[in-house]
DNA sequence: AGAATATATCTGTCAAAGATAATATAAGTC
DNA sequence: GACTTATATTATCTTTGACAGATATATTCT
């Protein structure tokens, strides 16, 4: 298994770091995960993440500025959605690290009881 | 194409955000990429990333505290290496986003003139 | 037009992160 | 033991980030 190749990111390190900074906050990561299910209004996010309207709005605008989310307005409401599949992939990678997929085979010992 | 599943990260959002914070700095990301090639001494990192000894050392210790790097001492020198394959995967994902593997086909428009 | 709702922006304040310089520790050399 | 090299730690300063509260804007309803 090849392990190398990381060096090709080096010229883009600053740019990549900016994206990471935008994601590197519990509230924002929660928001992105939640929005990953499908577009959400600010209100829905406000309920989900339990914090003030102002706080959610500020985090959302940071995510938008970073190119992670986009928004569309419909009537009084604003709907946020992910701006690119790449971000989804990144979050999915995090998920695979922190929530390792049950490997199907629950590696149970033969004759395991209860 | 299934897009969902991001919600399973939600309970681990804080933890994941901590890792992202540790990586979310140009210098640290550079260091991790470089170390991804194989273990490196602080001096090598100092030359590679052009900054002071103190600065490199501080960033390394943050990465180590975050569980991203580990170190071993040999004589006067300290060698840093990545602490887990998971981090490599994460950085590889970033790479696939910022340095998309050339798809062979350079998708050039026929007859495009300056 | 006036009130209510949804969201954004601004401002002040406090905490955390980053840079640099100086100093400390540890290992090796003479 | 004094000297040098490699790395870590500490102190100080500056910048950035987070949060709260107040206010602003846009939209809909009456």
Whether A23 shows a pLDDT value over 90: the answer reads yes
Whether A43 shows a pLDDT value over 90: the answer reads yes
Do B9 and A15 lie within an 8 Å CB cutoff?
Answer: no
Tell me the two tokens of residue A39.
């577009």
**Distance between B63 CA and the closest CA of chain A, angstroms:** 14
Q: Give alpha helix (H) positions in chain A.
A: 13-23, 26-36, 42-48, 53-65, 85-98
* pLDDT band per the 50, 70, 90 thresholds, residue A100: confident
Do A98 and B20 lie within an 8 Å CB cutoff?
Answer: no
Angstrom distance (rounded) from CA A40 to CA B89:
29
Note whether B45 and B79 are within 8 A (CB). no
Distance A108 CA to C21 C1' (A): 58
Do B17 and A29 lie within an 8 Å CB cutoff?
Answer: yes
pLDDT of residue A24: 98
Q: Which residue of A has its CA nearest to B4?
A: A37
Do B16 and A98 lie within an 8 Å CB cutoff?
Answer: yes
Number of A/B CB contacts below 8 angstroms equals 134
Tell me the two tokens of residue B92.
């590889």
Do B6 and A36 lie within an 8 Å CB cutoff?
Answer: yes
pLDDT of residue B1: 57
* CA A51 and chain centroid, separation: 18
Contacts of A12 in chain B (CB under 8 A): 98-99
Print pLDDT tens along chain B (114 aa).
554 589 999 999 999 999 999 999 999 999 999 999 999 999 999 999 999 999 999 999 999 999 999 999 999 999 999 999 999 999 999 999 999 887 776 555 544 444
For strand B69-74 and strand A77-82, is the pairing parallel, antiparallel, or unpaired?
A: unpaired
- Does residue A113 or residue B53 have the better pLDDT? B53
Whether A21 shows a pLDDT value over 60: the answer reads yes
Contacts of A10 in chain B (CB under 8 A): 30, 33-34
Whether A91 shows a pLDDT value over 90: the answer reads yes
- Does residue A109 or residue B76 have the better pLDDT? B76
Whether A2 shows a pLDDT value over 60: the answer reads no
CA atoms within 13 A on the CB side of B91: 32
Q: What is the mean pLDDT of residues A77-106?
A: 91
Distance B25 CA to D15 C1' (A): 15
- Report if CB A57 to strand C is under 7 Å: yes
Record the pTM.
Answer: 0.88
- Report if CB A78 to strand C is under 7 Å: yes
- Report if CB A51 to strand C is under 7 Å: no
Count other Cβ atoms within 10 Å, centred on residue B53.
Answer: 11
């Amino acid at each position: 298994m090849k392990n190398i190749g990381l060096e090709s990111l080096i010229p883009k390190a600053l740019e990549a770091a900016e994206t990471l900074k935008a994601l590197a906050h519990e509230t924002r990561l929660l928001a992105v995960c939640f929005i990953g299910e499908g577009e959400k209004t600010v209100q829905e996010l406000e309920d989900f993440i339990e914090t003030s309207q102002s706080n959610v709005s500020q985090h959302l605008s940071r995510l938008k500025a970073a190119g992670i989310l986009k928004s569309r307005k419909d009537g009084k409401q604003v709907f946020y959605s992910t701006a690119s599949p790449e971000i989804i992939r990144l979050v999915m990678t995090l998920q695979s690290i922190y929530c390792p997929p049950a490997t199907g085979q629950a590696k149970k010992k033969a004759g395991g009881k209860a």
